[in-house]
Every structure is written in C-alpha cells, then in structure tokens.
Amino acid sequence: MAAYYKFSGKFAPQGPLLGILAGAGVSIPATFLYVYGTVSIPEAKLRAICTLAFGALIGACSGFAMCWGKVRNKFVAATVGLAASLFGLYFSWFAWIMHLVQPSHWVFNLARSVMHPRKLWSAMLVVNGIGTWSSGSGGTPEHGTFLWIVWIGEALLLAATGTLAAFAIVQLRPFCERCEQWCSQKTKLFFAPSLPADQFKTNLESQDIASLAKLAAGDPKHPHYRVDLYTCANCHSLNTVSLIQSFGKNHKTILNKLMIAPDQAAAIRDLALARSPRPI
Ligand SMILES: [Zn+2]
C-alpha cells in the first residue's frame, strides 16, 4: 500500500520563537512601505494586492525561520504565521493612525505611541465615524458599517495570507528525523500531459518508476506534469515524490510526498540526469 510522508509533529522550543521574531521583525520595516502603499494608491484592488504582499512577506519570513528552527508541526507553523501576521496588522494600524494624526512626523511618533492599544481603538472609532477615502468620485468618504467590513476584510486577508505562506513554506520539504535535517536534495522532472492525472498517480503509488522513462519529456513553458523528488542528502534513505499538474491555470498537486525506496529514487535521479542538457 502507498505510504505517504507525515510530519512527526516535533519542534525545538526555539523554532516557534524564531518564527515569531522573524515574521514580526520584518513587519516593522515593511509596515512603512505598506502604509505608504495604502495611502498613496487610489485603486482599491491595488491596495488589496499591497495587503496580500504584506501578509505573504510576513508569513514567508516566519516560515523560513521556522525551517531554520526545525519546526515539523503544521499546527505550530500555521499558528506562528497567524500570530506574526496579527502583529503586522496591529503595527500597521498604529502607523496608519499616526500618519493621519501627524503626517509629517508619524515615523518618529510611532515608537512612542505604539504601546497604547486603547488609544488606538479610540482613534479607530473616530476614524470610522468620519472615513478617509471615497470609492466614488467626490462623494462622502466611506464610513460606519461599510468601512468596518472593509477593515475586517483587510484583516482577514492579511491573516490568511500570512498563515498560508508560513504553512506552505514549512511543509514544502520532508524532514529526516534520523539525520535531524531537512531533505535538501531536490530533483525535478517534467513530463508531457500524455496520460490522465489519475493514471499517473496510480503508476507512482504502485512504485512503477520504470514507467516514467517511457513517458515523453515535458516543457515547463507548456502544459505539463512535474515530479519533485526530495532526498535526505545525508543518509539517502528518506525519499519522497510529489506530482504537480500544471495545465495553464489548472495548477494542482495530484500527489504529495509519497515515500519511495532509495533504489527507485536513484532511478528517478538517473532519468533526470539522462534528460538534462549536456554541455558540448
Ligand atoms: Zn537522513
């Protein structure tokens, strides 16, 4: 029966701490860019992209720090990503309110006023009653319930992006518990979409690695399947393959971290070597 790799759930105590410090740490300088972006960009869709980028940056930094801190627990990875994103949200609110109150000196005032959540809440209530921007041309600024919905939407978007980014980065590679290290050796193979995804999956699950050699090579610039092999660079005994289908916009993971034997992993590496362009 096909066996899939699962995280052990272990983590060193410093792992989540590093994740929080990295995510919250990068959110401080990034906040200034974020507030600058949200204030100076009039287009609502572009402002939403700023929120996505801000959340992705926080989550990614948090995720990479947790990889460094050897976190192999999905719940911890997601929780730390969420916590770092919420810190970023909190800090960006202070920066934005300070920008509204004192546009010319807000950068300097931020350090002093940042520790007063109650003042921030009072300021938010005042700003919500008045509004600062209008979606129509020359109309009254958006305020009240509609503005609360926009703010909640922004908070959810930021928190979800940060959480997902941290989670995605931590679960990208398997971790060899025997050697206490991430599987850093990666082999990529591209195949033409010459068979249904289910059949490709069944072939891999039945450990039929020999069938891969018979499939036509794919072009990464056109619709293709991709097989990712991760191997522990130290012991070579932990090997996982993932199958990703990329048919234009239809991009999905068909199979995630199926465990295969070392000799089958070696066969995949040999095939990758045989298909790689050789220097003349
Ligand atoms: Zn190992």
DSSP per-residue string spanning 98-155: HHHH-TTTHHHHHHHHTT-HHHHHHHHHHHHHH-S--SSSS-PPP-HHHHHHHHHHHH
In 3D space, the residue among 186, 174, 157, 173 whose CA is nearest the CA of residue 59 turns out to be 157
Is pLDDT above 60 for 137? no
User: What is the C-alpha separation between 70 and 176, in angstroms, rounded?
Assistant: 11
CA of 163 from ligand 1 middle (Å) equals: 28
103 C-alpha to center of ligand 1: Å?
55
What pLDDT is stored for residue 133 in this prediction? Answer: 63
Which residues lie closer than 8 Å to 239 by C-beta, 6 or more apart?
A: 183, 229, 230, 231, 232, 259, 260, 261, 262, 264, 265
Q: What percent of the chain has pLDDT over 90?
A: 55
Q: How far is the CA of 8 from the centre of ligand 1 (A)?
A: 14
* C-alpha of residue 237 to centroid of ligand 1, in Å: 6
How far does residue 207's CA lie from ligand 1's centre (Å)? Answer: 21
Extract the tokens encoding 166: 């941290």
Q: Enumerate the domain spans of the chain.
A: 14-170, 175-275
CA distance 190 to 139: 54
Confidence at residue 189, expressed as pLDDT on a 0 to 100 scale: 92
**Which tens digits make up the pLDDT trace of 183-192?**
999 999 999 9
Cα(180) to centroid(ligand 1), Å: 7
Q: Is the pLDDT of residue 22 over 90?
A: yes
Residues 152-174, mean pLDDT to the nearest whole number: 94
pLDDT band at 278 (very low <50, low <70, confident <90, very high): low
Give the H/E segment covering residue 204: helix 197-205
- Ligand 1 centroid, distance to 62 Cα (angstroms): 25
33-42, 198-207, 266-275: least confident range: 33-42
92 touches 54 (CB < 8 A)? yes
